[in-house]
Amino acid sequence: MAFRNLTAVLLGVILIQGAASGCASSRSAKPMAQDHPGLRSFSEIEKEEGLRIHQQIVSQFYLYTDPQVTDYVDRVGFSLAEDESQARENYDFTVLYDEKIYAAAAPGGHVYITTGFLNFIENEAELAAVLAHEVAILQFKDPRSSSKRKTLDGVTQAVSVVAPALGQIGSLAALGAILVNSAAQSGELTREERIENADLLGTRYMLHAGYDPQGMVDLLYKFLKADRSKLPYFYDYYQTYPITERRFEKMNEDFARLPLASRELVMRRKEFLETVRGIREMHGV
């Protein structure tokens, strides 16, 4: 029921976007402001809007600030980028205190993971899989600036509209739904293709960082095998990133092509469990 309500709210936001876009297209064609040299680039606008969204998100959650955990999540997240020093400038990883199992990303490089998700996964490779998938989702953008700006506007509106209606996780689900669906709206990719491409790109990020990409496969199976009592906790995440038969088939095909021979890859279960022990005790595990 909660997700149906969320869908209705998001649909309203998308319809508002479409109406505004239609009105704009009926006027004489003029270049978007970011197309003019000397004015702000889209990346600058994206960072500005992303910061606004980030401020809204963190104002609605308690932040989990234990440095042992936050530094650990940062280290894993930054290691997924080819240039870790550049990643520290372009990405921001935030741990949110919530028992729901959810992760999301916002424009401008903001990536969020809940304590509930850290409680759900079992090793560092699975953590890398969660973060890599969110970073990969941010990489797929419509190359047309007008569509990209419309997506940004939609995300900003969705977060502000959904938060009062559905609360904290509703805000994160709004981020996930808008970003995943934006490519389908523009005709660039279908929703399923965007998720599948994020799986593929995410496993490449993991491989680069030395993580066993089996962690990505294990993460998907973990949702399918989870006890029914866990369903209310990850239902929103599952709805944002559906685990379909086609997704599994594509994952297996891509996994078979990965250059894994003679690679020393890690899962790091012991280190992960030790780091998040306080979270697991807090959530009753």
Reading the chain (285 residues) residue by residue, the pLDDT tens digits are 444 444 444 444 443 344 333 333 333 333 333 444 444 565 777 787 778 888 888 888 899 999 999 999 999 999 998 777 777 878 999 999 999 999 988 888 899 999 999 999 999 999 999 999 999 988 765 443 345 555 555 555 555 555 554 566 777 777 776 667 665 555 567 888 889 999 999 999 999 999 999 999 999 999 988 888 989 999 889 888 998 889 989 999 999 999 898 889 999 999 999 999 999 999 876
- Residue 113: Cβ within 10 Å count: 25
What is d(CA 1, CA 263) in angstroms, rounded to the nearest whole number?
A: 46
What is d(CA 197, CA 154) in angstroms, rounded to the nearest whole number?
A: 22
Q: How many residues does the chain have?
A: 285
DSSP letters spanning 131-181: HHHHHHHHH---SSHHHHHHHHHHHHHHHHHHHHHHHHHHHHHHHHHHHHH
For residue 164, what are the CA distances in angstroms to 78, 152, 170, 190? 32, 20, 9, 30
The encoded tokens of residue 76 equal: 């894993």
pTM of the model: 0.80
